[in-house]
């Protein structure tokens, strides 16, 4: 009896709390989350049940390996942004072809006019449709930069979790 009462409200409550402007399975800019799918609980019944469905506005994998990054750099198919501080690049080195935008400036930098970005950071400003790979020393700051870029509408973003430490290890191993 209690179950029957529950099912009677199953179709009403979701309609009251769910904003119908987002369709099930839709991609929502700015992150990951759930969009409910509606299904009928019984062919003859008019009630509906909400089922969570995963959605993502980013690439399937947010991480890129050393080998993948080497290929992307060789093909010039990505903008690589190193989010370490300038002194770190001077002291330890940097990935050839990368642009230095310190983590604290990523949010503002990705909102600059392209001319301002080039003048301040010495490289072409990535467009929201460009593939961007963020890098740092060991993958912590690059993940934060990825989240910032995603929140600004950049959809094709990844980060190099090994960072400069992994890059140097692999470069020494491969030379």
**Catalytic annotation, residues:** 136
**Phi-psi label, residue 25: left if phi above 0, alpha if psi -120 to 50, beta otherwise:** left
**Token pair recorded at residue 76:** 């010039």
Joined together, the tokens standing for residue 125 give 């400003």
Report the C-alpha gap between 83 and 98 in whole angstroms: 10
- Beta-bridge partner residues of 35: 53
User: Does residue 151 contact residue 28 with C-beta atoms inside 8 Å?
Assistant: no
Q: Is 14 helix (H, G, I), strand (E, B) or coil?
A: helix
């Amino acid at each position: 009896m209690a179950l029957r009462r529950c099912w009677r409200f199953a179709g009403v409550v979701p309609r009251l709390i769910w904003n119908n402007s987002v369709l099930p399975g839709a991609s929502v800019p700015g992150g990951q989350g759930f969009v409910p799918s509606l299904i009928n609980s019984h062919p003859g019944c008019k009630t509906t049940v909400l089922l969570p469905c995963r959605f993502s506005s980013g690439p399937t994998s947010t991480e890129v390996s050393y080998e993948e990054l080497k290929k992307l750099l060789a093909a010039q198919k990505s903008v690589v942004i190193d989010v370490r501080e300038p002194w770190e690049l001077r002291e330890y080195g940097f990935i050839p072809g990368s642009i230095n935008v310190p983590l604290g400036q990523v949010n503002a930098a990705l909102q600059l006019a392209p001319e301002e970005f080039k003048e301040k950071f010495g490289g072409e400003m990535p467009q929201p449709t460009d593939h961007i790979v963020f890098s740092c020393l060991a993958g912590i700051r690059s993940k934060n930069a990825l989240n910032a870029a995603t929140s600004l509408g950049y959809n094709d973003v990844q980060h190099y979790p090994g960072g400069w430490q992994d890059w140097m290890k692999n470069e020494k191993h491969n030379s």
